[in-house]
Amino acid sequence: MSKEINRLHPVSAIITSAKALKSMIIPVAIIIVTNGFNFSFNFHSEHFFQTVLLFGVWGVAALLSLVSGIVKWRTFVYWFEDGELRVKYGLFVKKKRYIPFERIQSLNYNEGILHRLLGLVKVQVETAGSKDGKPEVELTAIRKAAADVIELEMHRAKNQVIEQTADERSLPIEEEVSIPTIYRMSIRDLLVLATTSGGIGVVLSGLAAAVSQFSDIIPYETVFHELADFVKIGVFLVALIVMLILIVAWGVSVVITLINYYDYTVRIEDEKLIITKGLLEKKRITLPLNRIQAIRIVENPLRQWFGFATVVVESAGGNGEDGKDKKITLFPLIQKRDCLQTLEQLFPEMNWRPEFIRTPKRARSFFYRIDFIWLIPIIGACSYFLYPYGLLSLLLIPITILLGIWQHKTAGYKIDRKQLTMQYRVFSRITIFMEKKRIQSIESTQTYFQRRKNVMSIKATVMSGMTGMTGNVPSLEQQDAESILSWYEH
DSSP annotation string for 392-437:
GGGGHHHHHHHHHHHHHHH-EEEEETTEEEEEEESSSEEEEEEEGG
3-state DSSP assignment of residue 490: coil
Q: Is residue 137 within 8 Å of residue 147, measured between CB atoms?
A: no
Q: If pLDDT is split at 50, 70 and 90, which confidence band does 313 have?
A: very high
| Pair (25, 71) in one structural domain | yes
Q: How far apart are CA 413 and CA 477, in angstroms?
A: 11
| Pair (60, 161) in one structural domain | yes
Q: Is residue 312 within 8 Å of residue 296, measured between CB atoms?
A: yes
Q: Is residue 193 within 8 Å of residue 187, measured between CB atoms?
A: no
Q: How far apart are CA 174 and CA 179, in angstroms?
A: 15
CA distances for 258 relative to 158, 297, 301, 362, angstroms? 37, 21, 21, 45
What's the DSSP call for residue 176?
P
Name the average pLDDT for the chain: 81
Percent of all residues in the chain with a pLDDT value above 90, rounded to a whole number: 31
Is there a domain that residue 128 lies in?
no
| Pair (398, 304) in one structural domain | no
Q: If pLDDT is split at 50, 70 and 90, which confidence band does 383 have?
A: confident
Q: If pLDDT is split at 50, 70 and 90, which confidence band does 127 have?
A: confident
| Pair (162, 229) in one structural domain | no
Is there a domain that residue 120 lies in?
no
* Statement: residue 94 has pLDDT above 80: yes
Q: Which of 169, 204, 222 is the last residue of a domain?
A: 169
Is there a domain that residue 118 lies in?
no
| Pair (295, 345) in one structural domain | yes
Over residues 422-439, the mean pLDDT reads 94
**DSSP β-bridge partners for residue 79:** 86
**DSSP β-bridge partners for residue 81:** 84
Q: Say which residues have a Cβ less than 8 Å from residue 366's Cβ, sequence separation at least 6.
A: 449, 450, 453, 455, 474, 475
Q: Which of 405, 440, 464 is the last residue of a domain?
A: 405
* Statement: residue 37 has pLDDT above 60: no
* Statement: residue 456 has pLDDT above 50: yes
For the chain, what is the domain count? 4
| Pair (274, 246) in one structural domain | no
Q: Is residue 316 within 8 Å of residue 291, measured between CB atoms?
A: yes
Q: How far apart are CA 10 and CA 4, in angstroms?
A: 18
Is there a domain that residue 129 lies in?
no
Q: How far apart are CA 302 and CA 300, in angstroms?
A: 6
**What pLDDT score does 297 carry?**
96
Q: Which of 63-72, 392-401, 404-413, 464-473 has the highest mean pLDDT?
A: 404-413
What's the DSSP call for residue 174?
P
* Statement: residue 180 has pLDDT above 90: no
For 342-387, give the DSSP string.
HHHHH-TTS-SS--PEEPPGGGGGGGTTTTHHHHHHHHHHHHHHTT
**What pLDDT score does 175 carry?**
42
Over residues 438-453, the mean pLDDT reads 92
Q: Is residue 200 within 8 Å of residue 302, measured between CB atoms?
A: no
Q: Is residue 460 within 8 Å of residue 420, measured between CB atoms?
A: yes
Is there a domain that residue 62 lies in?
yes
Closest CA to 362 of 475, 483, 194: 475
| Pair (415, 371) in one structural domain | no
pLDDT in tens, 98-109: 988 888 888 899
Is there a domain that residue 280 lies in?
yes
| Pair (355, 367) in one structural domain | no
Is there a domain that residue 10 lies in?
yes
Over residues 50-62, the mean pLDDT reads 74
**368 vs 332, higher pLDDT:** 332
**What pLDDT score does 376 carry?**
83
Closest CA to 123 of 69, 70, 83, 87: 87
Torsions phi, psi for 91 (to 5 deg): -95, -60
220-233 vs 235-260: helix crossing angle, rounded to 10: 120
| Pair (199, 269) in one structural domain | no
Element (DSSP H or E) covering residue 321? none
Is there a domain that residue 97 lies in?
yes
For residue 399, the enclosing domain spans: 362-405
Q: Which of 5-19, 98-112, 188-202, 402-416 has the lowest mean pLDDT?
A: 188-202
* Statement: residue 161 has pLDDT above 70: no
Torsions phi, psi for 426 (to 5 deg): -100, -70
Q: If pLDDT is split at 50, 70 and 90, which confidence band does 195 have?
A: confident
**25 vs 252, higher pLDDT:** 252
Q: How far apart are CA 426 and CA 435, in angstroms?
A: 24
To the nearest 10°, report the CA torsion of 360, 361, 363, 366. Answer: 140
| Pair (245, 315) in one structural domain | no
| Pair (283, 354) in one structural domain | yes
| Pair (195, 225) in one structural domain | yes
To the nearest 10°, report the CA torsion of 462, 468, 469, 474. Answer: 90
**What pLDDT score does 164 carry?**
56
**DSSP β-bridge partners for residue 288:** 272
Q: Which of 169, 204, 219 is the last residue of a domain?
A: 169
